[in-house]
Amino acid sequence: MDLRTIEAYACISERVVREWIHLPTDPLPAVQVNGGKILINKTQFDRWLESHPYLPLHGIDVEQITNNVLKGLEVRV
């Protein structure tokens, strides 16, 4: 599927799709044909979306994350 088809299929903007393609870790798989059109396999797109579930903020333990980071910064004497 090209980017316009992905936009319509997932109800997201082309900008968001491009951001996902260029993520530094676990980017959305895509191919660029002859240096031009970007194509995304529908099955790969669906799998990629499934592997990135929405986590509501109340489901994230910010205190635990903060404590873990601070423990890593402690200076050992």
41-46 long-range contacts (CB < 8 A, ≥24 apart) are 41/1, 42/1, 42/9, 45/1, 45/6, 45/9, 45/10
Greater pLDDT, 6 or 62? 6
Question: pLDDT tens for residues 45-64?
Answer: 999 999 988 777 776 787 88
The per-residue pLDDT for 63 is 83
**3-state SS assignment for residue 27:** coil
Q: Which domain holds residue 33?
A: 3-73
Which tens digit of pLDDT belongs to each residue from 20-50? 999 999 999 999 998 889 999 999 999 999 9
Whether the pLDDT of residue 68 is over 90: the answer is: no
Question: Which ranges of the chain does DSSP label H, i.e. alpha helix?
Answer: 3-10, 14-21, 42-50, 62-73
Domain total of the chain: 1
